[in-house]
Structure 1
């Protein structure tokens, strides 16, 4: 039986769910607070099961067309001393290939495929929700309303709907500032050969993704509030790396002056239950693992596939479908949030002693040890890949 499903939040998780559920025959409406669709977004790496699901959705050709080359990565100390030089092809030999793409590029692949199939309402948010037996009446910000059998909340890390209706959930401040974006400029870097600098309380990544474009990402341990940080973002970025070589300093100066920069403080969502009646949390709104997990986009796509899988199994029992989704997701959420905490401790060391310890260990690591560090943590079990609950 067809269900009326509302998805609040048209990001990667929301659009993936919309595609899967509309293909099951449900009436799907997507609302988003943005005034219109935009391709803007920072660089992400879609890995492992995220790539597999995009292939299952028959979107690999579009995904590859929107991606950037990624061949090698060099981990460096700030004085350019090499820690490790890694081949992506070699590192990913035993898992699904990794795809480097902007968040906006991935978003656009999904949106372009879906925009003519699903009703998408921009400049629209949820202003109220009322239960009507097995139905939910949703009041929109423009005063219109909709009766839904299920409301999927995929509004992102700072979801207002989660804060209002999932009062037991909380957002953990990761005390890490993210500054990233893209800069259009001719450069002498080798495209696809990346640099990642490891330092005390900070990490800087330089990604030459085209002959005339560089993506830059930085993670900085910071306890300040986001409003103040955004006002001083350019000054903070340059000051944190002021003791780096002139090439890096000049690049960051040009980035702050001419680049498209995204600034935010990272956080994790802790929700003991992703379900509240006819409402269910999806993606970063329910389980943001932060960018430091390396799997935020993949986990959003996986969550959408898991939820649609269970709805497809019991379309006339949405309560059971959502309960099974919650049961499956909770240990996976803990795994990837744990990965993020471990990566923060390793790749953003808190002091010089931890930095030296990490550099020496990472530099001496064998191929097998590197695989344990870089790829083993992002693998799911066969049961999880097949949405089986133990």
Structure 2
């Protein structure tokens, strides 16, 4: 099958998945002049999870897409970061301004619904079809045919699989079944009205102890994004009506802000997720099918990079297609070279951070608690800056 394209011809592109990665790719590719159609299996776009922390590398991509002003207007103002013991004793508090100055960009914690609304408007809802599943892809002599659950078949130049951590096209690209791995902990997350007795309005406040973690982060609209992490066996009971009682047991003797947070929970808007990731794969490309976002690199959320890496994927793919407009195979090879190693490193770092935070090796976790008591912010900020500036030339 030839992957050549005629001189600078706009491509007909099908994107499977209309989440953060799919919509970001849709915007970037439309801005490059390509025809884009997105399909998602959900009947209504309702993002999983309450909020997302968009770190400076993700914000940079959104600014390149022309969305920086809208994102910053809708996001929380996160100026500082702190860690506290389970009982509420302050371990460290430091400003995030040195990070923002070093990378010349801020972080934007934002409601997922707000982010999705901004992305969908920019992409154009008329380009998105909901309630259909991609059932198969078939290589053609000069394209690819996609078969959907409603019976329609669409021929395209390129298919982008942005269908998330449960991607149905990942195995097709890899050529074998790829298993996700349980990271060993459960995450409850949601949103709550900001209040000074929970956390300062402009600070990312965290409580750590007993291999557990509680986090409160400004997310805009006078609300806080919260999450609880608890190491638990996989496939444990998930009963929404019991969330408050369950968390009350896990955090019974924790600091007053944690107990107040649990008392005020609206369990109707709390998500409970068993956290999984995956071992890195060697390529995101097979013929004219390319993986993007969580379909390519599902990672533990402990670096806050899942959505940011999907945005980077989207921008880099568009730039590679632009740079090699006459040679689709070369363009996809460039995308592979730019993204496989970058995302593999972040996946591995996220899993390592997850293991330390959640007690996979208890001695390491105890050592981390001790390090936090002496933390000035420099080491944490250096790690955040390394992640933000490691995207390579395509993102400069």
Residue number in structure 2 paired with 1:177? 186
Q: Which has the higher contact order (CA 8 A, sep 6+)?
A: 2
**SS of match in other structure, 1:376:** helix
Alignment check: 8 A CA contact 2:300 2:350 kept: yes
Q: For 1:23-34, list aligned pairs within 5 A.
A: 23-34=31-42
- The Cα offsets for residues 8-61 of structure 1, whole Å up to 9 and x where unpaired, read as 000111111111111222111000122133467422221122111111111111
**SS of match in other structure, 2:296:** helix
Q: How many residues align?
A: 383
**SS of match in other structure, 2:270:** strand
Residue number in structure 2 paired with 1:290? 300
Q: For 1:174-253, list aligned pairs within 5 A.
A: 174-184=183-193, 188=197, 189-209=199-219, 213-225=223-235, 228-229=237-238, 233-253=243-263
Please report the TM-score for the alignment, with normalisation by the length of structure 1.
0.90
Residue 265 (1) aligns with residue 274 (2): yes
Give the distance between the partners of 1:381 and 1:115, measured in 2 at CA.
Answer: 27
Alignment check: 8 A CA contact 1:275 1:322 kept: yes
Give the distance between the partners of 1:111 and 1:127, measured in 2 at CA.
Answer: 24
**SS of match in other structure, 1:375:** helix
Residue number in structure 1 paired with 2:151? 143
Unaligned runs of 5+ in 2: 1-8
Residue number in structure 2 paired with 1:106? 115
| Cα 1:320/1:208, change in 2 over 3 Å | closer
Please report the TM-score for the alignment, with normalisation by the length of structure 2.
0.88
Shift of 1:225: 1.6
Shift of 1:138: 0.9
Shift of 1:211: 8.1
**SS of match in other structure, 1:224:** coil
Residue 318 (1) aligns with residue 328 (2): yes
Shift of 1:340: 0.5
| Cα 1:222/1:144, change in 2 over 3 Å | same
Unaligned runs of 5+ in 1: none
| Cα 1:89/1:135, change in 2 over 3 Å | same
Residue 10 (1) aligns with residue 18 (2): yes
Residue number in structure 2 paired with 1:160? 168
| Cα 1:211/1:59, change in 2 over 3 Å | closer
Shift of 1:233: 4.6
Residue number in structure 2 paired with 1:82? 90
| Cα 1:162/1:74, change in 2 over 3 Å | same
Residue 130 (1) aligns with residue 138 (2): yes
**SS of match in other structure, 1:287:** coil
Give the distance between the partners of 1:74 and 1:289, measured in 2 at CA.
Answer: 24
**SS of match in other structure, 2:136:** strand
| Cα 1:359/1:39, change in 2 over 3 Å | closer
The 10-residue stretch of structure 1 (208-217 or 284-293) with the greater mean CA deviation from structure 2: 208-217
| Cα 1:194/1:97, change in 2 over 3 Å | closer
Alignment check: 8 A CA contact 2:303 2:353 kept: yes
Residue number in structure 1 paired with 2:4? none
Residue 22 (1) aligns with residue 44 (2): no
- The Cα offsets for residues 213-269 of structure 1, whole Å up to 9 and x where unpaired, read as 33211222223226x3366655443322122134422321331x4451122222223
Give the distance between the partners of 2:220 and 2:12, measured in 1 at CA.
Answer: 43
| Cα 1:215/1:29, change in 2 over 3 Å | same
**SS of match in other structure, 1:137:** strand
Shift of 1:186: 6.1
